[in-house]
Amino acid sequence: MKNGIFFFFPFPSLRSWAGELKEPESRWPNTGAEQYRWHNTSETQENSFSARLRSYPGSGFAVPIPRDEDERNALFDELESVRWLDERTRAVFVDFLVYNTNIDVLSIVKVMAEFPPTGGAIPSINMRNVRLGYLYPSRSTIFDLAWDGILLGVVLVYIIMLFVGCKRKGFKKQVLHFWGILDIANYFLFLIAYVLKFRAILICFNIDFPPPHNGFTNYETPGWSIDMWRNLMAINCTISWLKTFKFAGDVPFMAQIVHVIF
């Protein structure tokens, strides 16, 4: 379905979780079909998910939902007849993608319903918005790529300077104080953040975009990696701001203020 600047990839994935790894019951057709086979996390490519009641692993019974209405209705009738969802089902997940061509953002949407033992259903929704340029560098601008390169280069230079300082002054004098610990935390978080970003890029290296219309492409793991990259970079922004006081301490009239604060 296309509506203005949005593309909806209507081949979502339906996944249920039963609270334990169970074999297909006798009432289920012994056809070997995907919907009657337990899928582990490597097959579903899902991370664990924390909902309102509890956390759920990425494994479960999974089935792609067809685009064709007749096929979709036939699938739902079959699943209902064999009680694919029963009293032991604790959660149902529906995953799909929405792409905004105007701002080049991919929305990774997860709609779920939890079924507590007391009855009823608790719905919730989770959405990750990821710029496609973060997943596919070929879609990024030269400025974005250059900025990443400069930032990593500067961080590596500072790490080398830290090691040189440790060699000259000793580890205790160079590191074991407030500013030294802040420096190490800053550099460590930078490296972890970019490892996560490069992980997302490597995962998407073998994933074509736009995804095929005859199957579901799961961007959950690279989307999570980009989310963590952004969160760590936000923490690093705060640390970098605090480090400005370190250099302000070299200014005579600011030294006393910095000494009082820290």
Is residue 81 within 8 Å of residue 88, measured between CB atoms?
Answer: no
pLDDT value at residue 33 = 66
Q: Which two tokens stand for residue 3?
A: 């509506």
- Signed CA dihedral, 216, 217, 220, 226: sign only: negative
Residues of the chain with pLDDT under 50: 1-11, 20-24, 26
Is residue 111 within 8 Å of residue 92, measured between CB atoms?
Answer: no
Length in residues, the chain = 262
pLDDT value at residue 17 = 61
Is residue 56 within 8 Å of residue 230, measured between CB atoms?
Answer: no
Bond into 210 cis (ω within 30): yes
- Signed CA dihedral, 130, 133, 135, 139: sign only: positive
**Distance of alpha carbon 103 from alpha carbon 152, whole angstroms:** 26
pTM of the model: 0.77
Pairing between β-strand 2-3 and β-strand 60-64 as defined by DSSP bridges: unpaired
Q: Which two tokens stand for residue 58?
A: 């990425």
Q: What is the pLDDT of residues 17-63, one digit of tens each?
A: 655 444 445 456 665 566 777 778 877 778 888 888 888 888 888 88
DSSP 46-115: ---EE-SS-EE-S-EEEEEPPSSHHHHHHHHHHHHHTTSS-TT--EEEEEEEEEETTTTEEEEEEEEEE-
pLDDT value at residue 189 = 93
